[in-house]
Amino acid sequence: MRKVRTQPNDEIADVLLDQSIFARTFSLPRAATPIRIEAVQSFVMRRVSTLLCLLVLGPALLAQEKKVAAADGWVKTPAAGDTQALAFVTIENPGMYEVNVTSAMSDAAAKVELRDGGQAVTFINVPAFGSLDMTPGGGHLLLTGLKRSLKDGDSVTLTLATDVDVTLTVRAVVRKD
């Protein structure tokens, strides 16, 4: 039931809300006393502005998920005259979905193969909420067709591509085991 009463010289109407659809929809207390329109408008505007903020900012907040990252790259010093070398990287995946490294490149090699247990593979998996520490017996990179001789202390750039369109670039230092 809704009653609107205006008084002379008073442009603000008092509204009595008693079990109205409006009161149930916006969780207003069922009032037996008149409520000023400004109070109702203020309450509605707060609810609407909160809803709009959630609609606009919600996707942006969800998109701020932590990113896959690569670090601690290193290349095992090849023997003199070798045309290939092993490379290792640590990849962190803080996301809720697994990520697969699908290819790699290097400024020091003509080709980079993804390897696991000494065998060429098409991808190297990084588990969700986990990390991958490349090792000689596990997942690692094989740099073939070296463009220059590598010695201890040299720096090599490794670029890894993933199945989620993320490109990871890491500087790898040439060193002995």
Q: Say how many C-beta atoms besides its own lie within 10 A of residue 38's C-beta.
A: 9
Give the residue from 24, 41, 62 where a domain finishes: 62
Question: What Cα–Cα distance (Å) separates residue 153 from each residue in 78, 163, 172?
Answer: 12, 32, 10
The total number of structural domains in the chain stands at 2
Going by the DSSP 8-state scheme, the letter that residue 30 receives in this structure is -
Question: What's the mean pLDDT when you consider all of the chain?
Answer: 81
Looking at the DSSP bridge assignments, the partners of residue 104 are 160
C-alpha 1 chain-centroid distance: 51
Residues 42 and 89 in one domain: no
Residue 120 near residue 114, CB atoms below 8 Å: yes
Residues 91 and 38 in one domain: no
Residues 10 and 58 in one domain: yes
First to last CA, the chain: 83
Residues 167 and 86 in one domain: yes
Is the pLDDT reported for residue 60 higher than 50?
yes
Higher pLDDT, 159 or 22: 159
Residues 33 and 88 in one domain: no
Pairwise CA distance, residues 30 & 19, whole Å: 6
Residues 82 and 155 in one domain: yes
| CATH code for the domain in which residue 92 is found | 2.60.40.1890
Residues 122 and 140 in one domain: yes
Residues 103 and 136 in one domain: yes
Residues 78 and 52 in one domain: no
Range of the domain at 148: 69-175
Give the residue from 12, 30, 62 where a domain finishes: 62
Residues 93 and 20 in one domain: no
Six token digits for residue 46: 């707060």
* Percentage of the residues of the chain whose pLDDT score is greater than 90: 55
Residues 129 and 110 in one domain: yes
Burial 13-29 (b: 16+ CB within 10 A, else e): eebebeebeebeeeebe
Residues 88 and 104 in one domain: yes
The 10s digit of each residue's pLDDT in 89-143 is 999 999 999 999 999 999 999 999 999 988 999 999 999 999 999 999 999 999 9
Six token digits for residue 26: 């916006």
Give the residue from 40, 62, 84 where a domain finishes: 62
The predicted pLDDT at position 37 comes to 73
